[in-house]
Amino acid sequence: MAGRGDSLKKLGTLWAPWRMEYIEKCDQAQVCIFCEKPAQSDDAGNLIVHRAGTAFVILNRFPYNNGHLMIVPFRHTAELAKLREEECSEIFRLIVLSQKVLRGVMKPHGFNIGMNAGRVAGAGIAEHLHFHIVPRWDGDTNFMPILGHAKVMSEALEQTYAKLKKGFDRYGRSR
């Protein structure tokens, strides 16, 4: 009977070279990407799929699952209590719209929706609050994260962006 060590040996080398960019920059002082990216005019390059008046929707460059979106206010703040009423309303509308787009385009079976408030709560960018919407499918968890310490992404970010951008263009107009 094969033991756990034998399973790991059979697994071989798993490559996720795109993660190194995140790991190397994780603790470096940087400009806020949630302020910097929407100020630029390259929405496709920055993975911004939708802009509204006070907030925007961006594809997570280091996703937990394909289609992992973040809803971010344009205004730089780390505190929910500092959001204005119109920002709160629009962020919630964008969460609902994002869920609608993901359902229409990617057909997930469920969602994780929430935010990590503060670095100790898991926020990678704690200085600028943002909400996560992670689409989930039956069977999207498997042995890879446990045995191989890796997550299998079934589609490139550029392909996911193109699909979701079309979805936001279609569903965003029909709100």
Q: Which of 50, 68, 130, 132 is catalytic?
A: 130
The question of whether 130 is a catalytic residue gets the answer yes
SS (H, E, C) the chain: CCCHHHHHHHHCCCCCCCHHHHHHHCCCCCCCHHHHHHHCCCHHHHCEEEECCCEEEEECCCCCCCCCEEEEECCCCCCHHHCCHHHHHHHHHHHHHHHHHHHHHHCCCEEEEECCCCHHHCCCCCCCCCEEEEEECCCCCCHHHHHHCCCCCCCCHHHHHHHHHHHHHHHHHCC
Catalytic residues: 130
